[in-house]
Amino acid sequence: MVWRNSLTYTKTFAAKHHLDVLGGYEVNRYRRDGMDGAKDNFPSVEKIVLSNGSVLTDLSGSNTEWRLLSYLSRANYNYDDKYFLGGSVRMDGSSRIHRSSRWGTFWSLSGAWKFTKESFMDSLNDVLTDGKIRVSYGTNGTLPSSYFTYMDLTGFGYPYGNNPGIRETQIGNPNLRWEKQNNLNIGLDVRLFDRLGLTFEWYRRQSSDLLNDMPTSLTTGFGSYLTNIGAIRNSGIEVDLNADILRDKAFKWNASLNFGMNKNKTIALADGSEELRDGTSIHRIGQPWYSYYLIEFAGINRETGVPQYYVNDPSNLGSRDITEDYTKANRILYKSVDPKLIGGFTNTFRYKMFDLNFTWTYSLGGNSYDSGASKTELGGKTGYDNIPQYYERRWQKPGDVTDIEMFMVGNTYEMSSVANTRRVHSTDHIRLKNMTFGISLPQQISRRLKVSNIRAYCSGVNLLTFAAYKNYDPEVPVNGTVYFESPKLKTVTFGLDVKF
């Protein structure tokens, strides 16, 4: 349930001063009650409904609820559509956080100058059609994704001998706080000759009180608990170019190009720590937040087909000693998840009754970790999963040069339990994200049919992908990890639009 109430005041003074002010509040409430049941021993397969089964095999119920109360205000002012000022303040209180910390206050300030409205720019209006400089700074917050993370939770129905028991299902953290982001943006928007547009934006986004799982002693019965773990900083640029290349009456061509570069750095960790290790990942001060922490793979012994690893000293300086016993190899910080460059380019063509639009996207410099290899790299044993296709290039005889170990009876050298750098793969790719071709009937035919427009089209999504690593989709990793996720679907759609 969402209940919103707001009051808006708008006023124009002396023809050039424009002001609008908004104040209000909002109530969000979510509640879900569920019940599930299962029965067996049906007298007939013709009527498989719950009431017809004679043996109850499962019955469970659930209840989930959260609430969010918000107070908000906003004010915008502009003078003669030339100078712009804006500000906002809101307070949010959430049931997902303990009452001692559940309220968060967030605000923003912004300003812009449309310099092409100045009289001293009149002589350039034919060249510089439009131009604006803008600046904004503000804060916002993020809540835990789970509803009751601050509470110790218990579960009923746990079997204890022949009696029902109770067990702890979650370690609560009453000290949880809102994750906060401070955002600074500086942008420039210009349009040249009324056909070439450029948007340039520099940003710095600093996140503090990051919500993340903290590893804990297994003696607690849990591997981790949610807490506010540290702070990171993202800074970078985003550029967007848009051009009306051809604007002929019969033929039109519009093209756009965008790209972004981001630098991510860890700037603080809980309790003043210098680093925090979490499985195959490490968070270290001064390094990207999502960095890998792995044993360094040293290739396959050409004479024996056995995998090798660099020992590496604990200081992470990187010694070149090699061992075939992975337990003697130390983990190192190895590459990061985030791409160095992302972007896309779009073209739209229109010729008489035909139109064509397509968009390519790309990502360069990122990496992913194949966690699913722990289930498939079994030295030739299939288990429950298929042997990966890359084992076709495995070592088979002395002198073979490859990065895939031999098959070994007894699986003496299987790599399933070795979290190593061989599993890190580039996510570099370029993809035909979408493409649409359409045909519109001429207006004179549409009028005869008593409609304003008829257009038939065919569109496709994810039609082509050129990737550096081809064993899984480069866009499916979650926080840099892949574990048998389904690839992006290729879809083709045919349609007919009729407007009356």
Q: What integer pLDDT is reported at residue 159 of this predicted model?
A: 74
Amino acid in position 224: S
Please count the other Cβ atoms lying within 10 Å of the Cβ belonging to residue 343: 18
Q: For residues 439 and 345, is the Cβ–Cβ distance under 8 A? A: no
Over the stretch 429-450, which tens digit does the pLDDT of each residue have? 999 999 999 999 888 888 888 8
Higher pLDDT, 407 or 475: 475
Q: For residues 381 and 411, is the Cβ–Cβ distance under 8 A? A: yes
Over the stretch 153-162, which tens digit does the pLDDT of each residue have? 888 767 777 7
Where do the structural domains in the chain lie, given as residue ranges? 2-499
Give the closest residue to 132 by CA, choosing from 148, 111, 153, 149.
111
Domain topology for 2-499: Maltoporin; Chain A (2.40.170)
Tokens for 181? Answer: 């982001």
Over the stretch 320-330, which tens digit does the pLDDT of each residue have? 789 999 999 99
Amino acid in position 285: I
Alpha-carbon gap, residue 158 to 132, rounded angstroms: 64
Mean pLDDT for the chain overall: 91
Share of the chain above pLDDT 70, in %: 96
Sign of the alpha-carbon dihedral angle for 260, 265, 268, 273: positive
Q: What integer pLDDT is reported at residue 280 of this predicted model?
A: 92
Tokens for 237? Answer: 């640029």
Distance (Å) of CA 209 to CA 223, 230, 467? 21, 5, 36
- DSSP character at residue 45: T
